[in-house]
Amino acid sequence: MSPAVVRIGVGILLIVYAGYNLLKPKIKPFASNPITDTGIGVLNGMLGGLTGLGGVVITIWTQLRDWPKDVQRTVFQPVIMATMSITAVTYAINGAYTLETIKLFFIGLPALATGLWIGIKLYGHLDDAAFRKVILWLLLLSGVGLLIPLLLPP
């Protein structure tokens, strides 16, 4: 599958989903069952392995369930951690890490830590509705971020 096609598809999906839900005041919760939840897990893993976006599907799914913010986090954070850990180990086994990528990781680590600290501080000040909107805005920005490089000249 072409990475550009996947990037466009995921970018459009995120923009449409987030844009629609930002304009819609309340969602009707989706019911689920173990088979559906397993399918969501498989889709999340596939998208994570294919694109590195290991939290998109599960984040959308927890929003569609209309759970409180604390429940959403207790579901999507471990799933994202597991997805990214398995991906990182797979890359290490396949020799994908180079000295340059490790150096770039450590260069970006302070920004990551800063963003994490800000997010933790903001989380305590958000009610469920505000949390939902923040997640939707982040998904929208992620979708735009996926499409912008495709619009720029090489």
What's residue 154's pLDDT? 74
Q: What is the pLDDT of residue 140?
A: 96
What are the two backbone dihedrals, phi and then psi, of residue 122, each rounded to the nearest 5 degrees? -70, -35
Helix 69-93 vs helix 34-51: angle between axes, to the nearest 10 degrees? Answer: 50
Q: What is the structure's pLDDT at 79? A: 92
List average pLDDT for each run of 10 residues in the chain, which is 154 residues long: 85 94 84 94 88 89 93 93 91 93 95 95 93 94 91 80
Q: What is the pTM of this model?
A: 0.84
Torsion of CA 38, 59, 147, 144, to 10 degrees: 160
Q: What is the pLDDT of residue 53?
A: 86
Q: What pLDDT was estimated at residue 153?
A: 81
Q: Where are the domains of the chain?
A: 3-151
